[in-house]
Chain A
């Protein structure tokens, strides 16, 4: 990381401008949120499958 990077604050990515860095961060945040929804959904599904398979719900 160069001195210029540090001077422009923590939001900056590599050689990108602050605005470009924000666009990348927003895209990454969107993907992270989508992945979180998918993972929480899978946790709930696998829990339900397990409960059904062990026969708790008949």
Chain B
């Protein structure tokens, strides 16, 4: 409940609990879930749609809190994460664990009762996958951590779809695959210029374990798989030309930036402009691709 700060025993601030939910990650989760919900055929009452998105956001927040509870000591060793509430000593670990479990139970319970139990089941599995499979098992043990762990972040559009339809068809599976294959080039671009940070924490990210050349090859290779998956909804006739044209432009740009990363030989984080450009663009890529898909499907409907 309380921690020693400047020799005073202060209860954790509400902003620290908010920070535990990783609000920036949550914004991407909410957006992709909303796009999955809007792309789904059928009607959903706005109140139920709002509840579904709130539950998905809360579930993502629970995952973030449980992740920070488990990784408090690792976070203290990385510059990027040392200021978080737990490593900074603003909150006790037990509070983060209780907060995370409470949010997870709330999000799954309300989703099941108010929306449907298929979406609640997928939400529960995604929280388990991120907190246990990714955080506790994959991340500290294998350089393929973010490849398999990327599945955790790929569930939101599927949950959004299932909230409307109560089932899962090929399009939500393709949306899942889009985020799944987007994750490796996105995170490995970050890992290239944050290599020393991850190394200090002992996390076996690909650049630390297999080297920069292998990582650059993998980034470029995954970019081709990503392009194929991104174009599939249009090629299979599930979307119109709006999404198709957007996907072509986005993936050409993505491949161009990934090619620059592949060609680069720099080893100094400060001079890794191509890697930083790819990382920044990859976030924009996901936002635009999902927005175009949702808009296209709404126009078709």
Instruction: Show the binding face of A for B, using Cβ within 8 Å.
Output: 16, 20, 23-24, 27-28, 30-31, 33-35, 45, 48-49, 51-53, 57
Contacts and interface: CB of A to CB of B under 8 A. Distances in A.
Nearest to A19: B8
A5 to B, nearest CB: 16
Interface residues of B, number: 14
Interface of B: 8-14, 45, 47-48, 50-51, 54, 114
Given A52-B47, A52-B48, A57-B45, A45 B10 contact: no
B11 A28 contact: yes
Nearest to B2: A24
Given A31-B14, A49-B114, A16 B48 contact: no
The interface residues of chain A, by DSSP majority, are classed as: helix
A24 B3 CA distance: 11
A34 B54 contact: no
Given A24-B8, A45-B54, A52 B45 contact: yes
28 contacts: A16-B8, A23-B8, A24-B9, A24-B10, A24-B11, A27-B11, A28-B11, A30-B13, A30-B14, A31-B11, A31-B12, A31-B13, A33-B14, A35-B14, A45-B50, A45-B51, A45-B54, A48-B47, A49-B47, A49-B48, A49-B51, A51-B47, A52-B45, A52-B47, A52-B48, A53-B114, A57-B45, A57-B47
